[in-house]
Amino acid sequence: MIALAPQAVLTAGTLGALSLGLMRRPSALGLRVLAVSSIVAAMLSVATGSVHELSSVIVMNDPKSLGWHYVICLGALPLAFFLDGSDDVMTALFLGATLGMSLLCVAANLPMLFISLEFMSLPAYLLVARSRPGSRSLEAAIKYFFAGGVAGALFMLGLALYYADTRSLAFSGSLSALGQGGAALMAAAALFKLGAFPLHWWLPDVYEAAAPEVSGFLSTAMKSAAVLFLMRLCEMAPTASVADFLPGVGALTAVVGSVMALRQERLQRLLAYSSIAHAGFLLLGVGAWARAGRSGEGASALLFYLGVYALMSNGTFGFIKHAGAQTRAQLKGLGVSMPAAAAALTALLVSLAGIPPTGGFFAKLLIFWRAVDAGLLGPAALAATAALISMGYYLGMIKDMWFEEPSGPAPVASEGLGVVIACAAAAVLLGAAPWLLAQAMEVGIK
C-alpha cells in the first residue's frame, strides 16, 4: 500500500480529526497540528520518492499524479494553518476534501474519477456552509451543492453514453457520435467544477459567501483537481472533439472573468471573478496540451501555473482574512496603516497580473508559450487581451492601497499575516528562480 501513502496519510488525518472530536473537549492545538502535519506528511510522502509508480485498473500513479499531489497540498496548506482547531468537524471536512482530491490524482478509470470527484465535493459543500455563521454561507452552500449536483448528473449521463458507445470505462481510441456526446457531457462536468464560462454562474456567490480562507482553498486545491480531472478525460478519450473547443472556451472565460471583476466592489467577489479568469488561462493551457499530443511540457506548464496560483490566490484570500477588509474602499490607505500586509498583497497582485519578475509572469508565459507552440494564436491573443483587462483591477487595488487616502476607519487586523507574507515571498521567489518549483516537483520543465 506504500504506493498510496498520501491517501493513507490523509485518511488517517481525517479519521484522527473525527476521533479527537469524540473527546469531551477536543484539543484545539491537537487539531491544528493534525491538519498541518497531515498535509505536510502527504507532501513529503511524495517528495521522498516512497511512492512508486503503480498501474492497475482502478488506481495508478504516474508523473502527473505525483505532480498534482504537490499543487493540491500546496493549495490546501494555507487553510491548514488558518483553521484554529475550535471546530473538529471543519478539520475533518477539510482533510476529507483533500483526501478526495488526492484520490482523484490516482483515479485510473471513469467511475473512480466520479467517485473521487464526489468525495472531494461533498465535504467542500459543508465546509462552505460551516465556514461562517449566518444564512448567507448556507445559501451559498446549497447553491454550490446544486451546481455540483448538476455537474455530477452531467458526468453520469455522459459516462452512460460513453459506455454505450465504447463498452469501456477507461481508455477508448475511437468514438462515434454517441461517445463524442458522452465525452462532451463529461467535460462539461469538469468545466462546471472549474468555473468556466458559461458554467461559472455559481462560483462568485460561493466564493463571496464562504470564509475567505475557505474560498482560497476552493480556488486553488479544488481547481487543480478539476484541471487534472479534465486532463484525465482528454487522456482517456483522446479523439474527443470537445478538446478542440477548450482553448476558445478558455480564452472566452478569461475575458469574461476579467471584465466582470473590473466593476466589483466587494473583494471576495472580485477575487472570485479573478479566479474565473485564471481558470480561463488554465483551460487554454489544457487545450494547448491536448492539441500538442499531451506532451510532458504542456502538463508541466499547467502544473507550474497551478503551483504559483496556489500561492497567489491563497495569499490574497488570506490577506482578506488577515486585514479584515471587505471592500475595495477599505483598501484605501492600507499602505500607511498596515505597510507589511499591503506590501505583501502588492507583490501578490503584481504576480496575479503576470508582471515580471514574479512567478505569475512565468506561469502565464508558459501557458501562452504552449498555446503559441500548438498554433493557437487566436485564443492566445484573446487571452492576452484578458490579461490586459485584468490590469484594471489588479493595479486598481494597488492604487487603492498606496495612492489613495483612507476613506473610513481602518480595518482591524487579525492573525494570518505570516501566511500572506510567506505566499507573497514564495510567489516572488518563483519569479526569480522558476526552476525551484519544477525541481521540487521532480517533473522538470524540459
Partner 1 sequence: MSMTLTGLWVLPLFGCLVCSVLGRLWPGSVKRAAMAFSLLSLGAVVLAIGSSWSGGAFTTLNEVGPRWAYGISYRLSADSLSLALVGLTVFLNLICMIASWELEVSPGYWACFLALTAALTGVFLARDLFFFYVFWEATLVPMFFIIGLWGSSGRRHAALKFFIFTFAGSVFMLLALLVLVSSHHAATGAWTWDLAELDAKTLGPLARLVFWGLVLGFAVKIPMVPFHTWLPDAHTEAPAAGSVMLAGVMLKMGVYGLLRIALPLFPEISWEALPILGGLAAFSTVYGALCAMAQTDLKRLIAYSSIAHLGFCLLGVLSRTSQGLSGGALQLVNHGLTTGALFLMVGFMYERVHKRGLADFGDLASRAPTLAFFFGFSTLASIGLPGLNGFVGEFMALSGAMAALPVLAIVGSVGVLLSAAYALPAFQAVFWAPAGPGSVSEKMSDLHLREKAILWTMCGLMAWIGLAPKPWLAWFEPAIRGLVR
Among 27, 381, 414, 440, binds partner 1 (CB under 8 A): 381
CB of 359 vs partner 1, minimal distance in Å: 13
Among 260, 380, 424, 437, binds partner 1 (CB under 8 A): 380
440: three-class secondary structure by DSSP = helix
Q: Which of 118, 159, 109, 437 is nearest to 302 (CA)?
A: 437
Cβ distance to partner 1 smaller for residue 71 or 350: 350
Can you name the residues that pair with 60 across neighbouring β-strands?
55
C-alpha cell at 421: 507574507
205: three-class secondary structure by DSSP = helix
Q: Is 8 in the site for partner 1 (CB under 8 A)?
A: no
CB of 445 vs partner 1, minimal distance in Å: 5
The region of 5-13, 115-123, 317-325, 386-394 touching partner 1 under the rule CB under 8 A is 386-394
Q: Which of 65, 21, 64, 17 is nearest to 37 (CA)?
A: 17
Instruction: Name 37's Cβ contacts closer than 8 Å, sequence gap at least 6.
Output: 13
Q: Write the single-letter amino acid at 97.
A: A
End-to-end CA distance of the chain: 31
Cβ distance to partner 1 smaller for residue 71 or 380: 380
Q: Is 293 in the site for partner 1 (CB under 8 A)?
A: no
Q: Is 377 in the site for partner 1 (CB under 8 A)?
A: yes
Q: Is 378 in the site for partner 1 (CB under 8 A)?
A: no
Say if CB 46 and CB 66 are below 8 A apart: yes
Placement of cell 508559450 in the chain: 369
Q: Which of 281, 279, 300, 299 is nearest to 289 (CA)?
A: 299
Q: Is 387 in the site for partner 1 (CB under 8 A)?
A: yes
Q: Is 163 in the site for partner 1 (CB under 8 A)?
A: no
Q: Residue 275 to residues 33, 219, 251: CA-CA distances in angstroms?
A: 29, 7, 13
Number of residues in contact with partner 1 under rule CB under 8 A: 28
Among 373, 413, 429, 436, binds partner 1 (CB under 8 A): 373
Say if CB 420 and CB 318 are below 8 A apart: yes
DSSP conformation letters of 18-47 = HHHHHSSS--HHHHHHHHHHHHHHHHHHHH
Cβ distance to partner 1 smaller for residue 267 or 383: 383
Q: Is 446 in the site for partner 1 (CB under 8 A)?
A: yes
CB of 267 vs partner 1, minimal distance in Å: 18
Among 28, 248, 404, 406, binds partner 1 (CB under 8 A): 404
The continuous run of DSSP H or E covering 248 comes out as helix 246-262
Q: Using the CB atoms, write b or e for 27-61: b if 16+ within 10 Å.
A: ebebbbebbeebbebbbebbbeeebeeeeeeebbb
Cβ distance to partner 1 smaller for residue 283 or 350: 350
3-state helix, strand, coil in the chain (%, to 5): 80, 0, 20
Cβ distance to partner 1 smaller for residue 205 or 404: 404
Cβ distance to partner 1 smaller for residue 24 or 446: 446
CB of 350 vs partner 1, minimal distance in Å: 7
CB of 41 vs partner 1, minimal distance in Å: 31
Query: Which residues ranging from 121 to 140 are in contact with partner 1 (CB under 8 A)?
Result: none
Per-residue binding string, partner 1, 336-355, x by CB under 8 A, is: --------------x----x
Q: Is 440 in the site for partner 1 (CB under 8 A)?
A: no
C-alpha cell at 313: 490566490
C-alpha cell at 346: 502588492
Per-residue binding string, partner 1, 353-372, x by CB under 8 A, is: --xxx---x---x--xx--x
CB of 356 vs partner 1, minimal distance in Å: 4
Interface residues with partner 1 (CB under 8 A)? Answer: 350, 355-357, 361, 365, 368-369, 372-373, 377, 380-381, 384, 387-388, 391-392, 395-396, 398-399, 402-404, 435, 445-446
